[in-house]
Amino acid sequence: MATGTGDLGPPQRSVASRLNWNDPSFRAILYQIIVLGLVALTVWYLVSNLQANLKSRNIATGFGFLGLEAGFGISESLIEYSPASTYGRAVFVGILNTLRVAVIGIILATILGTIIGVLRLSKNWLISKVCSAYVETLRNLPLLLQLFFWYAIITETLPSARQALNPLPGIFLSQRGINFPVPAFGIAFDLILIGVALGLIGAVAFRIWAQKRQDRTGQQSPVLLVAAGLIFGMPLLGWLLGGAPTEMSVPELRGFNFRGGASLSPEFAALLIGLIAYTAAFIAEIVRSGILAVTHGQTEAALALGLTRGQTLRLVVLPQALRVIVPPMTSQYLNITKNSSLAVAIGYPDVVSIANTAINQTGQAIEGIALIMAVYLSISLGISLFMNWYNKHIALVER
C-alpha cells in the first residue's frame, strides 16, 4: 500500500490560473454572464419604453379592470352572464367556452381518429382507400380554411329555421345551428348522473381489487363484464329510481326560431366539426403507426402461448401500441386546445375572442394578452401533467 506519494487527487489550482481564457469552465461562466446581461439589458430597454408609452398614452395598468362592468354581451355562456357583469366574469365565461369545445373535441376526435386509423389498416381495400383519402385531404388543408368552410356551409347553404332540414325525427339542421331533443327527466336526470359517477368509481375499484386478487391467488376475474355492468347498470338503476320517465324535450318551430330541446349554435357547431375532422386525421395516423409498431412476432408469440384473440389484443398488442401512441397523442390534445383559439375568426366567444374585446374596450393590451397566455399555459400544463402521468403508468419498466 502506497503511503505519502499515493493519491494526488484533482489538481489544486490557484485563483489566478482559474481566470484563464483556456479554461473551458471559466469561458462557460463568462459566456453565461454575457448572455444573461444582454437579455437583462433588452428587457430593461423594452420595459422602460413600455412605461414611457403607457404614460404618454394614458393607459391604465394592472388587473383592476377585471372588476369593472364589461358592458358587452356574449352570445353563448355556460354560466349566468349579462352585459352588467364584470370583465372578470366575462373572461371566465370565455375560459369555460374554450374548455367546453376543447374537452368535447378531444373526446370525439380520439374516437373518430381511432376508428379511421384502424380502418385504414383494414384488409378491406375500399375502406382503407377511403380512409387514406380522408386523412390526406384534411391534413393538407389549413384548419382556418376548414373552419370558414364549415361555417359558410352552415350559415349559407343550410335553409332558414322555417325550412329546417330534418334528417332524423326531432333533429333539425338550419342556419340557426343544430337543434336536437334532450331528455326532460327532472330529478331522474340527477339520479342518472350520480349513477354514472358511482358506476365509474365502482368499476375502477373492482379493477384494482381484481388485480390484487390475481397477484395473490393467480385467479382472474371478469373485469370487463363487471365494469360494463356497473357503468351501464348504475345509471339504469338511477333512471328506475327516478320513476323511469320517458318524456323528451323536442325542439319545435315557434315563429322564427326553435323552442325546447337543446341547440348548438352555428359558431360552436362549425368550430367543433372543424376541430374534430382536422385533428382526427392526425390522430388516425398516430394510431396507425402505433399499431404498425407492434411486430407480427408479438401477436404470433401470444397466440402460440394459448392466449385468445381478445387477450392478445388487450394484454400484448395494445400495451405496446399505447407506448408509441401516447406521447404524440398528448401533443395532438394540446393542439386541439390551442387551435380552439381560432374560434375568434368565426365569432365563437372563446377566451381569446372575449379578451380581445376587452383589449379593444380598455386598451390594456398587455394585461389582456398576458391573461390569454396564462390561460393557455395552465391548460397546456394540466394536459401535459396528466398525459405524462399516464405515459409513465404505461411506459416500459426498465432498469
Partner 1 sequence: MTAPTATTELKPPALSQGWLGWIRENLFAGPFNTLLTILTVWLLLATVPAFIDWALLKAVWSAPTASVCREAAGGACWAFVYEKHRLILFGLYPFEEHWRPMLVVVIFLAMIGLSCLRRFWTVWLALYWIVALTAVGILMWGGVLGLTYVENEKWGGLPLTLILSVFGIAFAFPLSILLALGRRSNMPAIKALCVIYIELIRGVPLISLLFMASVMLPLFLPTGVNFDKLLRAQIAIILFAAAYLAEVVRGGLQALPKGQYEAADALGLAYWQKTGLIILPQALKLVIPPLVNTFIGIFKDTSLVVIIGLFDLLNSLKASLVDPAWPGFSAEGYIAVSLIYFALCYFMSKYSQALEARLATGHKR
Interface residue with partner 1, options 118, 121, 143, 200 (CB under 8 A): 143
Task: Using the minimum distance from each CB to partner 1, give the nearer residue, 25 or 219.
Answer: 25
- With binding defined as CB under 8 A, does residue 121 bind partner 1? no
Residue carrying the nine cell digits 373535441: 105
d(CA 124, CA 139): 23
Smallest distance, Å, CB 262 to partner 1? 27
Assigned C-alpha cell, 386: 396528466
Based on the shown chain and the rule CB under 8 A, indicate whether residue 127 belongs to the binding site for partner 1.
yes
Nearer residue to partner 1 within complex by CB, 191 or 276: 276
Q: How far is CA 210 from the centre of its chain?
A: 31
In whole angstroms, the minimum distance from the beta carbon of 216 to partner 1 comes to 39
Complex with partner 1: residue 52 or 301, whichever CB lies closer: 52
- Residues 186-245 contacting partner 1, CB under 8 A: none
Residue closer to partner 1, measured from CB, 238 or 367: 367
By CB under 8 A, is residue 385 in contact with partner 1? no
| Residue 144 makes contact with partner 1 by CB under 8 A | yes
The nearest distance, CB 73 to partner 1, in angstroms, is: 21
241, containing H or E segment? helix 223-241
Q: Where are the alpha helices (DSSP H) in 68-124?
A: 87-120
* Nearby residues of 131 by Cβ (< 8 Å), 6 or more positions away: 116, 117, 119, 120, 122, 284
Whichever of 191 and 375 has its CB closer to partner 1, that residue is 375
Q: Is 14 in the site for partner 1 (CB under 8 A)?
A: no
Q: What's the closest the beta carbon of residue 134 comes to partner 1, in angstroms?
A: 11
Question: Binding residue for partner 1 (CB under 8 A) from 54, 99, 184, 303?
Answer: 54
Q: Does 39 bind partner 1 (CB under 8 A)?
A: yes
Helix (H, G, I), strand (E, B) or coil at 137: helix
CA angle 363–364–368, rounded 5-degree value: 125
Question: What does the alpha-carbon distance between residue 22 and residue 134 come to, in Å, rounded to a whole number?
Answer: 59
- The Cα 18–Cα 118 span in angstroms is 62
From residue 347 to residue 366, what is the string marking binding to partner 1 with x (rule CB under 8 A)? Answer: -----x---x--x-----xx
Our CB check for partner 1 shows the closer of 153 and 210 to be 153
Contacts (Cβ under 8 Å, ≥6 apart) of 258: 161, 164, 172, 176, 179, 251, 252
H-helix or E-strand containing 259?
strand 257-259
Burial of 368 (0-12, 13-18, 19+ CB in 10 A): buried
Residues 6+ apart with CB under 8 A from 336: 102, 105, 106, 109, 275, 279
Kindly list the residues in this chain that would bind partner 1 in the complex (CB under 8 A). 28, 31-32, 35-36, 39, 46, 49-50, 52-54, 56, 119, 122-127, 130, 136-137, 139-145, 148-149, 152-153, 156-157, 334, 338-339, 341-342, 344-345, 352, 356, 359, 365-366, 369, 372-373, 376-377, 380-381
